[in-house]
């Protein structure tokens, strides 16, 4: 009886939690996911923070917040895989999405990245996020690894001679997460 009660308590606690999950190559999306998770926790929500690669099941979560950067106009491949793997569950619970992309505070760049994001979303017509946001990202040519490093050296590459930058707006990130609490 006591064990059953404990199990039931555990189930109630677990199914009440929110998964904040992220894909990242250089860590900037992970840092944003950590800030989103911290803000949701401050709002009194129970949050589990996990890299997408490590998530085996969505069982036990009542909502998912998914964060992924854009690479060459596409969501990070971990996010593409995650969406395919968990399609069914993601249609049955609230999903919020944040994307990192633009690395300069340039209006034209942001317009182009919004178009990239629209194209990515169009590939998942079943996905109807309760919230969707594009945040500026972080770019450091000195930290690039192969093949990105090679790509950045090519004169025809959009990364050629792009300076290091960090345009993550932490105030906007926390405000978005704070508003999100009510939607999940």
Binding site residues, ligand FMN, CB under 6 A: 24-29, 69-73, 100-103, 113, 116, 137-139, 144, 148, 151, 159
Cβ atoms of residues 47 and 108 within 8 Å: no
- CB of 160 vs ligand FMN, minimal distance in Å: 11
Residue 117 CB, nearest approach to ligand FMN (Å): 8
> Which tokens go with 35?
């800030």
Please compute Rg for the chain using Cα positions: 18
**Closest CB to ligand FMN among 62 and 81?**
81
Q: How far apart are CA 21 and CA 79, in angstroms?
A: 9
Rank residues 11 and 158 by Cβ distance to ligand FMN and give the closer one. Answer: 158
Residue closer to ligand FMN, measured from CB, 45 or 98: 98
Q: Name the phi and psi angles at 62, rounded to 5.
A: -100, -10
Least Å distance, CB 41 to ligand FMN, is: 21
Q: What span, in angstroms and rounded, lies between the C-alpha atoms of 140 and 165?
A: 7
Collapsing DSSP to helix, strand or coil, 105 comes out as coil
Q: Smallest distance from the beta carbon of 71 to ligand FMN, in angstroms?
A: 5
Nearer CB in complex with ligand FMN: 21/116: 116
């Amino acid at each position: 009886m006591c064990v059953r009660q404990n199990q039931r308590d555990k189930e109630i606690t677990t199914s009440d939690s929110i998964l904040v999950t992220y894909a990242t190559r250089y860590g900037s999306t992970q840092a944003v996911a950590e800030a989103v998770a911290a803000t949701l926790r401050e709002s009194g929500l129970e949050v589990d923070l996990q890299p997408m690669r490590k998530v085996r099941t969505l069982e036990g979560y009542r909502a998912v917040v998914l964060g992924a950067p854009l690479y060459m106009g596409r969501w990070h491949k971990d996010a593409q895989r995650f969406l395919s793997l968990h399609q069914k569950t993601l249609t049955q619970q609230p999903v919020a999405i944040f994307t990192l992309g633009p690395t300069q505070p340039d209006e034209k760049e942001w317009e182009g990245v919004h178009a990239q994001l629209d194209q990515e979303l169009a590939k998942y017509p079943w996905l109807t996020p309760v919230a969707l946001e594009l945040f500026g990202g972080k770019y450091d040519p000195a930290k690039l690894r192969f093949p990105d490093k090679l790509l950045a050296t090519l004169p025809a590459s959009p990364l050629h001679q792009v300076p290091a930058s960090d345009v993550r707006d932490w105030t906007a990130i926390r405000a978005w997460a704070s508003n999100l609490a009510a939607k999940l």
